[in-house]
Amino acid sequence: MQLAYQILVLIHLIGFAALFGGFLVQLRSKEPEINAAMLHGSLTLLITGLALVTLDEIGPDPVNHLKIAIKLIITAVIVLLVGKNRKFAAIPRGLWALIGGLTIVNAAVAVMWQ
């Protein structure tokens, strides 16, 4: 069970890296877009996050449901924004910044909230 949890955490971090990396690649771009890394990274974050919570619920330690709910809402908003805007050749810089900001906030909630 511990190995499965560690593998899921690794895949979750890879999803974060893909989403944030896809965001950072476009820092100098005049017309940012939703690239494949952002789409697949956001979906990976959502799926592995739900799997991690399921394993946490099975385990003996208590789960912070408020933290999980906030992270789920932020991740769902990211997935929704990425999914809805992937068909466009370019997106507004503000939307691009919002997706990046929400990604950072989601990581900050995970790390800072103990």
pLDDT in tens, the chain (114 residues): 899 999 999 999 999 999 999 999 999 999 999 999 999 999 999 999 999 999 999 988 899 999 999 999 999 999 999 999 999 999 999 999 999 999 999 999 999 998
Residue 12 phi/psi, 5° resolution?
Answer: -60, -45
Residue 90 per-residue DSSP state:
-
Structural domain boundaries, residue 76: 2-112
Structure tokens, 65: 């449901």
Domain count, the chain: 1
Provide the angle, in degrees to the nearest 10, between the axes of the packed helices 65-85 and 93-112.
160
Token pair of 39, please? 């789409």
pTM above 0.75, yes or no: yes
